[in-house]
């Protein structure tokens, strides 16, 4: 398994991985190659991919924000690799990278009612904001 920064050759596979109902935005669009390409500029580990046997099975998009915090926009993995040790290892890699840069906390955006996913995030110390409602507006 290899965890590395994404490059231009990864965009097609990452776009394919993005075609999930949980990743649709207010514009009713999924992440496209053009959108994903914008994360390649000054990447600084903000667009990561994971390969197993030369196949990308996962990617993570996140941004560094002001006041030493970050936001994870997308953390996706191929169905056959879900719920295995890979999730935890990848999350730990991400956390190490932001902690090395002195980031204090991260906010995760995820649109799913999956109990398994909720349990995974709870096990990894993410808190659920019970009274939080988010809104999107497309321009």
Kindly list the structural domains of the chain, giving each domain's residue range(s) and its CATH number in brackets, ordered by start. Answer: 2-123 (3.40.630.30)
pLDDT, residue 88, reads: 75
pLDDT, residue 23, reads: 67
pLDDT, residue 112, reads: 64
Number of Cβ within 10 Å of residue 19's Cβ equals 10
Q: How far is CA 45 from CA 25, 122, 131, in A?
A: 23, 24, 31
Q: Are 65 and 81 a contacting pair, CB within 8 Å?
A: no
pLDDT, residue 10, reads: 96
Question: Is 70 strand, coil or helix?
Answer: strand
Q: What is the pTM of this model?
A: 0.74
Per residue in 46-85, pLDDT (tens digit) is 888 889 889 998 888 888 787 788 877 777 666 677 656 7
Ranges of residues in the chain with a pLDDT under 50 are: none
């Amino acid at each position: 398994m290899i965890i590395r920064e994404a490059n231009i050759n990864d965009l097609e596979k990452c776009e394919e991985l993005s075609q999930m109902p949980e990743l649709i935005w207010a514009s009713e669009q999924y992440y496209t190659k053009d959108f994903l390409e914008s994360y390649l500029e000054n990447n600084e580990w903000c667009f990561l991919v994971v390969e197993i046997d030369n196949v990308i099975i996962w990617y993570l998009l996140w941004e560094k924000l002001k006041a030493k915090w970050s936001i994870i926009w997308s953390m996706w993995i191929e169905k056959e690799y879900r719920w295995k040790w890979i999730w935890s290892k990848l999350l730990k890699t991400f956390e190490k990278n932001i902690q090395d840069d002195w980031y204090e906390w991260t906010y995760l955006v995820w649109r799913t009612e999956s109990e398994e996913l909720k349990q995974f995030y709870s096990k990894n110390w993410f808190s659920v904001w019970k009274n939080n409602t988010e809104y999107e507006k497309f321009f």
